[in-house]
Amino acid sequence: MINNLTKNQYGHLLLDLIVTFSIIAILSTISIPYIRKYQPNLKLNAASRELTADLRLAQQLTVTEQIIHKVSFDLYNDSYDILRIGAATTTVKTVKLDSDINFQQIIGLTNNQVVFNYYGGVSESGQIVLINVNANMATINVKPSGYIQLQN
């Protein structure tokens, strides 16, 4: 019969289970603070990639639709809008940054806007700098040709 374990074997099985669960508990206790510390960095990377993709989206929409699009930044609310500038200005997309991410500064962009022309270039070049609660930064460079580069 399979169920012919002696008391000694039951004791070893119980001891094995206790040791296994103890190891799992210790590893969890050690790793959770590191995961929480690294989480704002992951959020910063995600936010900077999303902003870069949204700038490229506005650029592509301007070229394909031949209607000027711009990305307008709201530094006080840590948000930005993609706007279509035609007979009437319409909002294509609005994004609010995560509470752990802020705009540190926007350099070289008048009225905190990136305006794309029909060829995909921009009216003026500049930088958008994001910062997280750990003081890590991500910089997005916008070149006059419309080239958008993410630096971490």
Secondary structure of the chain in the HEC alphabet?
A: CCCCCCHHHHHHHHHHHHHHHHHHHHHHHHHHHHHHHHHHHHHHHHHHHHHHHHHHHHHHHHHHHCCEEEEEEECCCCEEEEEEECCCEEEEEEEECCCCEEEEEEECCHHHEEEECCCCCECCCEEEEEEECCCCEEEEEECCCCCEEEEC
What is the second-level CATH architecture of the domain 7-151? Answer: 3-Layer(bab) Sandwich (3.55)
- pTM for this model (two decimals): 0.78
pLDDT of residue 16: 87
Q: Where are the domains of the chain?
A: 7-151
Render each residue's pLDDT in the chain as its tens digit; 152 residues: 455 666 666 677 888 889 999 999 898 888 888 777 788 899 999 999 999 999 999 999 999 999 999 999 999 999 999 999 988 899 999 999 999 999 999 999 999 999 999 999 998 999 999 999 989 999 999 999 989 999 87
